[in-house]
């Protein structure tokens, strides 16, 4: 699943660890999400979208094909 997490983290000046801490997951989970190797639960997708004040669709590129 394509995501904009890396781009949004850079925009907001967040490290992978800082984002992981905000959504209470391991840094490795953020790494896998950014590489498209992990599909998040709906709860995690929602929490990440809240950090960036965006919709899940905007963060995870759903419906933009």
SS3 of 4, please? coil
The answer to whether the CB of 20 falls within 8 A of the CB of 29 is: yes
Q: Is the model's pLDDT at 55 over the cut of 70? A: yes
- What pLDDT digit, counting tens, does each position of 26-45 carry? 999 999 999 999 999 999 99
Query: Widest CA span of the chain, in angstroms?
Result: 31
pLDDT band, very low/low/confident/very high, at 2 (cuts 50, 70, 90): confident
Instruction: For the domain covering 5-54, report its CATH number.
Output: 1.10.260.40
CA atoms within a 13 Å half-sphere pointing along the CA-CB vector of 27: 5
Mean pLDDT over each residue of the chain, to the nearest integer: 93
């Amino acid at each position: 699943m394509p995501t904009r997490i890396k781009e949004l983290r850079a925009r907001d000046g967040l490290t992978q660890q800082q984002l992981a801490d905000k959504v209470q997951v391991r840094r490795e989970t953020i790494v896998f999400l950014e590489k498209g190797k992990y599909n998040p639960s709906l709860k995690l997708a929602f929490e990440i979208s809240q950090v960036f004040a965006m919709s899940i669709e905007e963060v995870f590129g759903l419906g933009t094909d």
